[in-house]
Amino acid sequence: MFKIPSFTQLTDQINSCTDEDIKRSLSAAHLSTHDLAALLSPAADKHLEAMAKRSADITAMRFGRTTQIYAPLYVSSFCTNRCSYCGFSADNKIERRILSLDEAEAEAMILHHRGFNHILLVSGEAPAKLGVDYLEKLALRLRNRFASISIEVQPLSTEEYARLFAAGVTSVAIYQETYDRDIYDRVHIAGRKCDYDFRLETPARAAAGSMREVGIGALLGLADWRAEGLALGLHLAWLRKNFWRTGLTVSFPRLRPAAGEFQPLCEVKERDLSQLIFALRIFDPDVGIILSTREEARYRNGMLGLGPTRYSAGSCTAPGGYSDPDTNGEQFSIGDQRSINEVCAAIKQKGFDPVRKDWDAAFQLQ
């Protein structure tokens, strides 16, 4: 079972790093978690240009000049959790909706016709309203139309993940939100999500359930981003060691305006986000790094080729929002409003190749 050190221990490790530690980490062939701490440290700020170059070189070597494109499909905004930072929180007075299977399929086909082959099914956490039966039926409808189907829903059991994998779901995204236990308890007020350890163990259950890929991450703006980055790296390394057959991705979503008007507990600037991305890429050359439409188009364009390998595009965070753009009840506001064609054009303009399909389920091992 993965155990996370206290944030005090993580912060002390980061702050103890010297300029010599950073220089050694930038030249090391294989990085330790101490090297990651060095690259996340305040002392590494003056080395950011060198980190960007190393990150870009590694990304080009491992992923070529490609950027995978995907879209989220929100199927339900019902949630039984009370999370102070989330627009879907149970105590927020928003318009709630769950799509029928036919409506969800229709929304998916809109994305398919727009050119998406990778989709992410997203919902609030309300198992009684949207559980494994629903996800299984929807996956069976969509499995032959998309190269991959990912889910970002409530934590499930290993058996449930195995069942969804058999139905056509290929990957799971499950973010810890924050690895800081004290902050976690503070922002998760009620609901099953209050169980820190159960959530922390979820990526391992998904990997044990045969998922081809598992995504982890932290919601930036809740706790110190440097310690979050080191905790995320430790979690990533543990999963690599224990589930070496499973592909892994990381995401660093920053808090966006949402219902409830929660204000970030700590500031995370674009420069901070860049340092975090570069450090994780150098630490784990093979991890997929996601940069979503939470970020502005200007920043996403500037980060092309420097570390991220996956971009969402043309996103809507309200159920039914693709067929009806006036739909209310979004989880959070989008930073990059561009369509898939506009995002792809920007990627090509920078000399990169937007990939709408990079694998086929026919090659999946059973």
The DSSP 8-state label assigned to residue 361 in this structure reads G
Residue with the two structure tokens 């009620």: 190
> For residue 366, what pLDDT is reported?
44
Is the Cβ–Cβ distance between 211 and 161 less than 8 Å? yes
Confidence (pLDDT) at 365 = 47
Domain coordinates of the chain in residue numbers? Answer: 65-221+246-271+286-357
pTM listed for this prediction: 0.94
Tens digit of each residue's pLDDT (9 = 90 or more) over 207-220: 999 999 999 999 99
- In this prediction, the residues of the chain whose per-residue pLDDT falls under 50 are 363, 365-366
Q: What is the pLDDT of residues 49-107, one digit of tens each?
A: 999 999 999 999 999 999 999 999 999 999 999 999 998 999 998 889 999 999 999 99
Question: Strand 66-76 vs strand 353-355: parallel, antiparallel, or unpaired?
Answer: parallel
Res 87: pLDDT: 86
pLDDT at position 149:
97
In this structure, which CATH number among 1.10.260.40, 3.20.20.70, 3.40.50.720, 3.40.640.10 belongs to the domain 65-221+246-271+286-357? 3.20.20.70
Q: Are 277 and 308 in contact (CB under 8 A)?
A: yes
Polymer length in residues for the chain: 366
Output the DSSP codes for 80-135.
--EETT-TT-TTS-----B--HHHHHHHHHHHHHTT--EEEEEE-S-TTTS-HHHH
